[in-house]
């Protein structure tokens, strides 16, 4: 079948449409059942039906590859808030939960990222393709231009850290959706990413040029590591009319947002994992409610007194939790889980090419 180069306008439309769909709120009935990674998990079997592929043309006939972007995002804090609507004489109710990851940090995340990158390249070589190493990638003239258009790693916020192997930069589509924790998965966050989407599309021509310089297909990989699953139990019309607001949180290490963009000449394909991979909860040594300080108590009392003074019937509750990782076990569990996701990407690439 004859193929044609992708026009920049089509790339803009496709990229931004995919972004809006990916970050728009999803109803529970639309969420796929997570896959539990244990001793019986078969990455190759899961890969055969576990991905969505947007136009596989760039995957066909691949023999030589480079991985110029390898982004791992670690969620370190997350929160959820549920609210009800006032109805008649009833006041509004709200419930919030806040979770923070302790016991591991940037050094652990960097070590996991570095190890996974080596294992991913080894898996690619074992699958039968020639793989360029990082030094060959960074020596290409156009790579410096692409890195200059992005951000140096790590990219940090109050809720996430995005890591990359030493020498590799974060640019293009790898940066889109950064910091998209449970509290930020909304259509509004999607619109905030539109500018980043145009910047990513603008990097396509340079990415094509980099592929020519390296004489290779380019694989841009991104994954995310979470530590808690949060739920707003008052979603939907009837949930908002409930007499009380409630939220739930379940601490569980997981890998999601697994995606790989493939640039082969002017052809571009994307491979996106459908499921979340849930991992061994032994990565965490303790889950405890954050200790309340005298200042917290004083603040709560002040708010309640104000409500009483103005006759407000609104009610609110909040809890703060600390999830303490067991560092060695965390590095093992998360490293193995990410390696499973990487193996699934390699297996699907092998099946398609």
Listed by start position, the domains of the chain span 8-24+36-352
Q: Is the pTM of this model over 0.75?
A: yes
When the pLDDT of each residue in the chain is averaged and rounded to a whole number, the result is 81
Q: How confident is the model over 17-43, as a mean pLDDT?
A: 63
The DSSP bridge pattern shows strands 315-325 and 93-102 to be parallel
Contact by Cβ (8 Å): 130, 63: yes
Contact by Cβ (8 Å): 219, 173: no
Burial 56-83 (b: 16+ CB within 10 A, else e): bbbbeebeebbbbbbbbbbbbbbbbbbb
Q: How confident is the model over 221-225, as a mean pLDDT?
A: 96
Span 307-336, pLDDT tens digits: 455 555 566 778 899 999 999 999 999 999
Please tell me the distance from the alpha carbon of residue 175 to that of residue 110, in angstroms, as a whole number: 17
Q: How confident is the model over 258-283, as a mean pLDDT?
A: 93
Q: What angle (nearest 5°) sits at the alpha carbon of residue 134, between those of residues 6 and 338?
A: 80
């Amino acid at each position: 079948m004859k193929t044609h180069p992708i026009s920049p306008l089509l790339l803009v439309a496709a990229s931004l449409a995919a972004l809006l769909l990916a970050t728009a709120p999803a109803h529970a009935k639309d969420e796929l059942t997570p896959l539990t990674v244990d001793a019986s998990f078969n990455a190759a079997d899961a890969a055969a039906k576990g991905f969505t592929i947007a136009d596989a043309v760039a995957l066909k006939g691949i023999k030589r590859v480079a991985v110029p972007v390898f982004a791992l995002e670690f969620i370190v804090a997350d929160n959820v808030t549920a609210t009800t609507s006032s109805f008649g004489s009833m006041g509004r109710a709200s419930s919030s939960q806040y979770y923070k990851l302790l016991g591991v940090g940037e050094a652990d995340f960097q070590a996991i990222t570095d190890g996974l990158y080596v294992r991913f390249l080894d898996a690619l070589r074992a699958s039968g393709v020639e793989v360029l190493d990082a030094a060959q990638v960074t020596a290409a003239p156009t790579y410096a231009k692409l890195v200059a258009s992005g951000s140096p790693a790590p990219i940090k916020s109050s809720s996430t850290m995005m890591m990359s192997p030493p020498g590799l930069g974060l640019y293009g589509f790898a940066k889109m959706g950064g910091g998209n924790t449970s509290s930020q998965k909304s259509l509004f966050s999607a619109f905030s990413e539109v500018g980043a989407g145009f910047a990513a599309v603008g990097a396509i021509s340079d990415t094509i040029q980099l592929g020519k310089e390296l004489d290779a297909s380019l694989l841009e990989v991104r994954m995310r590591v979470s530590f808690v699953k949060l739920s707003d139990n008052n979603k939907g019309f009837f949930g908002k009319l409930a007499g009380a607001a409630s939220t739930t949180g379940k601490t569980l290490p997981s890998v999601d947002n697994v995606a790989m963009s493939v640039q082969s000449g002017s052809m571009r394909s994307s491979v996106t994992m459908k499921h979340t991979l849930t991992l061994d909860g032994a990565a965490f040594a303790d889950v405890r409610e954050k200790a309340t300080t005298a200042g917290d108590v004083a603040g709560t009392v002040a708010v309640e007194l104000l409500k009483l003074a103005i006759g407000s019937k609104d009610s609110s509750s909040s809890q703060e939790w600390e999830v303490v990782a067991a560092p060695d076990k965390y590095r093992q569990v998360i490293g193995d889980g990410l390696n499973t996701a990487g193996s699934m990407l390699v297996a699907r690439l092998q099946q398609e090419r």
